[in-house]
Structure 1
Amino acid sequence: MARTNPLQFAQQTRAEISKVVWPTRREVVLTTVMVFLLAAVAALFFSLVDLGIRSGLQAVLESLGG
């Protein structure tokens, strides 16, 4: 593997960083809101699934236990 001297490395790094397209403040806010919203929806979904499984299991155990 060819070695790059530190000056070339710094220049190449700067060139690559200049190609990065940074998100706007609006994009960051919208993405953050969407993440929190989807996390809340997922939490609600799994809470309902858990409640359903718990209720079903409780009903089965009560019917077996008398």
Structure 2
Amino acid sequence: MANPVQFISQVRAEVGKITWPTRREVVTTTIMVFIMATLFSIFFFLVDLVIRTGMTQGLRLISG
């Protein structure tokens, strides 16, 4: 097991290798996530609507 000073030194060296995203990249990625979440929610709403309508019509035919 390494001593604490050596461990801290290694951690700092590894943190120095990290390339952080720019503000523009973060904003662009965030906007894309919101757009995709909106598109997926609309898609699943429409799929749910179609399935619900089909089930309702099918049950009306069976019971009716």
TM-score higher than 0.5 here?
Answer: yes
2:63 corresponding residue in structure 1: 65
Which 4+ runs in 1 deviate beyond 4 A? none
Q: CA RMSD in A?
A: 0.4
> Where does the alignment leave 5 or more consecutive residues of structure 2 unmatched?
none
TM-score by length of 2: 0.98
Counterparts of 1:11 and 1:65, CA distance in 2: 74
The count of residues paired between Structure 1 and Structure 2 equals 64
TM-score by length of 1: 0.95
Query: Percent same amino acid at aligned positions?
Result: 53
- CA drift of 1:63 comes to 0.7
> Where does the alignment leave 5 or more consecutive residues of structure 1 unmatched?
none
- CA drift of 1:65 comes to 1.2
